[in-house]
A and B are shown apart, each in its own frame.
Chain A
Amino acid sequence: MKQLMLGNAAIARGLYEAGCCVVSSYPGTPSTEVTEEIAKYDEVYCEWAPNEKVAMEVAFGASLAGKRSFCGMKHVGVNVAADPLFTVSYTGVNGGMVIVVADDPGMHSSQNEQDSRHYAKAAKVPMIEPADSAECLEYTKLAYEISEKFDTPVFIKTCTRVAHSQSVVETSERVVPEIKPYEKNIAKNVMMPGNAKKRHPVVEQRLVDLSEYAETSPLNRVEMGDTKLGIITSSTSYQYAKEVYGDGASILKLGMVWPLPAKMIKDFASKVEKVVVIEELDPFIEEYCNSIGVEVCGKELFPLMDEFSQNQIAAIMGKDVPEGITLDENIPVRPPVMCAGCPHRGMFYTLSKNKCTVLGDIGCYTLGAVAPLSAMDVTLCMGASISSVHGFNKALGEESQNKTVAVIGDSTFMHSGMTGLANIAYNQSNSTVIILDNSITGMTGHQQNPTTGYNIKGDPAGKINLEALCKAMGFERVRVVDPYDLAETDKVLKEELAADAPSVIISRRPCALLKTVKAKPALTCNPDKCKSCKMCMKLGCPAISMKDNKAVIDKTLCVGCGVCQQLCKFGALEA
């Protein structure tokens, strides 16, 4: 049956049909739905791991045991998983092992715009790249065949516009291949120097074999049209190029972006008058073409950053593009904001009020950096808040330690905050770490994590106790506050900043968007009592605005958290 399917759901369907048995992932936009969708099939064991490194190692273990396995992550997740990746390349697999990495050109929901193709090249593993949902499904199944035939993990690379676009797919039945029995093989699997030295030539030969495969693989295809222009492209860039040219140019569409097919590229180039490479982000295909002596034009024309579109390509190639209606009006931007009732708001207000230096982390709470709260000084990567507050305080000592904090969410803390905390406990800096525990992984759309007590299917699971964990590491000062209580939050923050010891504050209140959290009735502003002091506006709550110089509360947004009430000296905000 033909149906519309999100690219991520199509990959999940491909995993299911290919007989994948074990899935372990860490959520990350735009990759998250692959794992959420595969979790709906009871035949597949599926879990959220604490981070991508763990996920990849779980998938490796399952592959070693002889079953087809999978892990999914966003582009920056591969940085975390890079350690096992580079050596799984040496050991190879037993059951097929497939890794999805979802890039985010245009940074819809990411901290950088890195191009994952470099990882395939550096780790010497094949990478295939679907251009729509039908290819997502088909290529995922093919990825397992490649993995088992060539004894290698296989990357499937997507981007936001493939992962989060729906297009037509046709599904088929699940076929589980025969389990390959586990056999102890020290020379292949124990990667100490003597063994690894013997595996490296195997990896190099595998790359040669894969290059041969790429020459004839159905993943790469030539669509000959007008021969004045030849376009080498992949992924969504292929779609944009087809939209612009149709049959008006010849196209080499690469579905396998590492290793690349040298003979096929040379042959294609010889049949057209000139060759243009259209690829988002880095000149990966372009540089390869140059390295094999094929003259192409790429980043001379096309930008190194952001997503492309059909009009952009048309304009760069000198074609006319339609003009839209222009409105001579200054339209204010609408950036994302912390939701009304967000439990992080009370803590960020308190940090802002106390003029703290805040070393931040990755999650919804990164929005604490947005005006009017502006309560964040830096955000780098998962877990960096805790490690860098230690470094900051070691550098400045008393000058900083009484006004500097790290803030990190519960899921991010589990991901890679614990090791940084161990460093503080071990090397003893007088640092204050705030764990913003909203009892869920929020930014990626509410995934469970090791602190929530539930697994990916919503069933009861192990639950890590944050207080006990911090105490076990040696923190004697572990405080728990409700960030809806501003006075208490302020008191605890001041005490822990002043204390002459490292401390952890757990700011605990579930995400206001959770289905289990019942909203209270919306507040209203009594205009007779409102003195227009704008204290409530300091919270940056999207439900509060000033109309005719009086505070007004949007009833459709307000969840009655009451934080603004605590700031109003005139009792104007009424329940």
Chain B
Amino acid sequence: MSETKNIMIVGVGGQGSLLASKMLGKLLLSQGYDVKVSEVHGMSQRGGSVVTYVRYGEKVYSPVIDKGTADFIISFEKLEASRWISYLKKGGKIIVSNQEIDPMPVIIGAATYPENLIEKMKAAGADVDAIDALNLAMEAGSPKAVNLVLMGRLSKYFDATEEAWMEALEACVPPKFLELNKKAFALGRDA
């Protein structure tokens, strides 16, 4: 039986991680895998730290991912990448948007936003792919397209055709935003 693979999507509530996980779920299902996607709705969405688990393989049981087992972590924000880095397995890859969003303890001066997080994660042994996703999303036409930039980036490391990705994208995005999202996806992939 093939091993279950694990992808985590982490970020700040409101950044659009639910669309990314929906699209990824559709893609993986179209590739013939059993898939489970676990989200958390409700209070933590209000600007809190959010995490979505995507698992796929021949047969998936648990809907959640544990420490040291994620093949990929996709992070919408640097501090969140660092918060969840212990979930990355040895040899796993973390794709990080360079964006910094101050959490409330930093805003009110009760804590400081740590410096050089990308370098520190690399020094700790993580395979980090950091990209300027927010600017690429704006180049595509909207800061909200960060999720598609990151999906585009993930597609580089994935054994699925561009057609399959586009089908998944079309199934998740309303037609009027399709071009913008396709552009964001391509910018992420080629960055």
Contact = CB atoms under 8 A, between A and B. Distances in A.
Contacts of B112: 332
Interface stretch (A82-90, A157-165, A293-301, A384-392): A157-165
A364 interface: yes
B156 interface: no
Interface in A298-334: 307, 309-312, 321-334
Contacts of A328: 124
Given A325-B86, A326-B124, A337-B48, A239 B61 contact: yes
Interface stretch (A365-373, A401-409, A432-440, A452-460): A365-373
Contacts of B87: 324
Contacts of A310: 61-62, 64, 66
A167 B41 contact: no
B132 interface: no
A545 interface: yes
Given A327-B124, A544-B107, A239 B63 contact: yes
A370 B105 CA distance: 10
B120 A329 contact: yes
A339 interface: yes
Interface in B82-123: 82-83, 85-90, 101-114, 117, 120-121
Contact of A336 (B47, B80, B86): B47
B67 A240 contact: no
B107 A545 contact: yes
A335 interface: yes
Interface string A32-59: 1100000000000000000000000000
Given A2-B29, A364-B46, A545-B102, A332 B113 contact: yes
Interface residues of B, number: 63
Contacts of B46: 336-339, 364, 367
A108 interface: yes
B25 A4 contact: yes
Given A164-B41, A324-B85, A243 B105 contact: no
Contacts of B80: 334
Interface in B25-47: 25-26, 29, 34-47
Nearest to B144: A556
A71 to B, nearest CB: 20
B155 interface: no
B12 interface: yes
A30 interface: yes
Interface residues of A, number: 62
A129 B143 CA distance: 41
Most buried by A among B102, B105, B113, B114: B102
A560 interface: no
Nearest to B54: A166
Contacts of A30: 41-42
Contacts of B126: 325
Interface in A232-255: 236, 239-240, 242-243
A165 B63 CA distance: 7
A168 interface: yes
A554 B124 CA distance: 31
A537 interface: yes
Given A4-B25, A327-B121, A371-B108, A109 B42 contact: yes
Most buried by A among B12, B64, B82, B87: B64
A444 B45 CA distance: 10
A535 interface: no
A371 B66 contact: no
Contacts of B34: 167-168
Given A160-B40, A167-B35, A537-B108, A334 B79 contact: yes
A178 B74 CA distance: 51
B14 to A, nearest CB: 8
B125 interface: yes
A352 to B, nearest CB: 13
Contacts of A540: 104, 107-108
B110 to A, nearest CB: 7
A138 to B, nearest CB: 17
Contacts of A309: 62, 64, 66
Given A160-B40, A334-B48, A445-B41, A542 B64 contact: no
B110 A537 contact: no
A29 interface: yes
Interface of A: 2-4, 29-30, 32-33, 108-109, 132, 160-161, 164-168, 236, 239-240, 242-243, 307, 309-312, 321-339, 364, 367, 370-372, 443-445, 537, 540, 542, 544-546, 554, 556
Which 3 pairs, one residue from A and one from B, show the smallest C-beta to C-beta distance? A109-B42, A29-B42, A322-B68
25 contacts: A3-B29, A108-B42, A108-B44, A132-B63, A164-B41, A165-B37, A165-B38, A166-B25, A167-B36, A239-B62, A243-B4, A311-B68, A322-B90, A324-B69, A324-B89, A326-B86, A327-B85, A329-B117, A331-B83, A333-B111, A336-B43, A337-B48, A339-B14, A542-B104, A545-B106
